Amino acid sequence: MSTHRNWAGNVEYAARAYRRPSSIDELRELVAGSDRIRAVGSGHSFNRLGDTTGDLVTLAGLPATPRLDEQRRVVHVPAALRYGDLATWLHERGYALANLASLPHISVAGAVATGTHGSGETVGNLATAVAGLELVTAAGDLLTVDRTDPDFTGMVVSLGALGIVTRLTLDVVPTFEVRQYVRLDLPREALDEALASAYSVSVFTDWRSTRGTQVWRKQLADQPAPPADWLGTAAADRPWHPVPGMPVANCTEQLGVPGPWHERLPHFRLGFTPSNGDELQSEYHLPRAVAADALVALDEVAHLIAPVAQTSELRTIAADELWLSPQYDRDSLAVHFTWIADAAAVLPVLAEVERALAPFAPRPHWGKVFTMPTGTIAATYSRWTDFAALVNRLDPNGKFRTEELDQLLPR
């Protein structure tokens, strides 16, 4: 196979072969005949959790048309479809998803499997919209599950360990409009109020002070605009990019101009480079109730963070009941870091960040860079052993396992 890398270029896949089936039957035959196999989506993972020394399979060759069920208010989605393409398709038919991640370039199955999220005090991560799954199991069988299955809440955020997901069923809502306002220089003491002030809110900081450099407020279009003196901030009078120096044309429209949900909830526009592109990313999910204390702890290592961070983002996500979701059983604050693309410089700082956050039971984002030991992570999930048992039951020979998964879920 030719060399394949992830989106950021920091992971070169070790797979012996790269497969692109054109039908479900071809995929089933491929899975049944392989000893090691993993699916790869849009490649927006920054670690080796999805890598394999066996076969790496893309589902981009399978039929890609969604199917809307208006009576049930769900949409059946091919796994490889990108959220941006799905969102456009839904909006044209008068429907929406409850939330989107900061970039629309990611595949639906990959984002769901890793617990990827947007922001909003009352909105769950993207996986909470999943009402059903179709996947190819280790034997090559096609398994369909929904919310009536007792294992369903363990199968949604699965890290790709249970099989190759081919289709997902997602809840939809009527389409809606959003206005996006950027505010500057938020005082730390106003952070809680800011995060709860709109449908979706992100606060960016550079860790050079305790103030938020930018607040991205994504509010429903029929809500009043923030007052001029909102929480002691200044209104942006031009578009901004979260990463200083990057082109603002890459970002979704701001300055309060109303627009459809899928063109405002993400930070970045489909068809343009999201974030910087030349970067590493880490993210930790903390109980919402300890947010203030956790940020004070990070202030102690801010002098280490600032030189290697391009930006850092704070978001909130509602609790859910998905066993391996970073928001399992707790409302959460996500602390995200966009690092420079230099692992040698970043990893020692990452160790200090994890040390500072250790008292607050952090959970890492499954698709980003982290160094936390398995035992520390597992201790924050009450259903960890249940998930490990589910993996061993559905994949007894470890067909979907990787070196990283073996470290997380020893057999």
pLDDT tens digits for range 244-260: 999 999 999 999 999 99
Rounded distance between C-alpha atoms, residue 276 and residue 350, angstroms: 19
pTM of the model: 0.96
Alpha helices for 95-247 (secondary structure H): 108-113, 152-155, 191-195
In which domain, by residue range, is 186 found? 177-374
**Which whole number is the average pLDDT over 264-276?**
88
- Percentage of the chain exceeding pLDDT 70: 99
CB-side exposure of 113: number of CA atoms within 13 Å? Answer: 32
Spatial contact of 202 and 100, defined as CB atoms under 8 Å apart: no
pLDDT at 382: 97
79 in a structural domain? yes
Rounded distance between C-alpha atoms, residue 16 and residue 405, angstroms: 18
On whether both 131 and 224 belong to a single domain, the answer is no
49 in a structural domain? no
On whether both 161 and 184 belong to a single domain, the answer is no
310 in a structural domain? yes
Spatial contact of 115 and 125, defined as CB atoms under 8 Å apart: yes
On whether both 248 and 163 belong to a single domain, the answer is no
47 in a structural domain? no
pLDDT at 4: 84
Classified as helix, coil or strand, 26 is helix
Spatial contact of 134 and 165, defined as CB atoms under 8 Å apart: yes
On whether both 208 and 269 belong to a single domain, the answer is yes
404 in a structural domain? no
354 in a structural domain? yes
Q: Is 2's pLDDT higher than 70?
A: no
pLDDT at 44: 86
On whether both 166 and 231 belong to a single domain, the answer is no
**Which whole number is the average pLDDT over 336-341?**
97
On whether both 111 and 156 belong to a single domain, the answer is yes
On whether both 116 and 213 belong to a single domain, the answer is no
Query: Domain end: 174, 191, 208, which one?
Result: 174
pLDDT at 43: 87
**Which whole number is the average pLDDT over 49-64?**
92
Rounded distance between C-alpha atoms, residue 336 and residue 283, angstroms: 4
pLDDT at 3: 58
pLDDT tens digits for range 288-303: 999 999 999 999 999 9
**Which whole number is the average pLDDT over 75-83?**
97
On whether both 259 and 361 belong to a single domain, the answer is yes
52 in a structural domain? no
Q: Is 6's pLDDT higher than 90?
A: no
Spatial contact of 179 and 226, defined as CB atoms under 8 Å apart: no
**Which whole number is the average pLDDT over 168-175?**
98
409 in a structural domain? no
pLDDT at 50: 87
On whether both 110 and 207 belong to a single domain, the answer is no
> Which two tokens mark 264?
């405002």
CATH of the domain at 333: 3.30.70.2520
Query: Domain end: 357, 374, 391, which one?
Result: 374
Query: Domain end: 133, 154, 174, which one?
Result: 174
- Tally the domains of the chain: 2
pLDDT tens digits for range 347-370: 999 999 999 999 999 999 999 999
pLDDT at 105: 93
User: What average pLDDT does the chain have?
Assistant: 95
On whether both 133 and 265 belong to a single domain, the answer is no
> Which two tokens mark 18?
């790269």
On whether both 246 and 165 belong to a single domain, the answer is no
H or E segment and range at residue 311 = strand 309-317
CATH of the domain at 124: 3.30.465.10
Site of tokens 């479809």: 81
**Region of residue 262 (phi > 0: left; psi between -120 and 50: alpha; otherwise: beta):** alpha
pLDDT tens digits for range 187-205: 999 999 999 999 999 999 9
pLDDT at 271: 84
Beta bridge partners of 180: 218
pLDDT at 1: 39
pLDDT band at 38 (very low <50, low <70, confident <90, very high): very high
**Which whole number is the average pLDDT over 159-169?**
98
Site of tokens 């901004």: 240
On whether both 211 and 351 belong to a single domain, the answer is yes
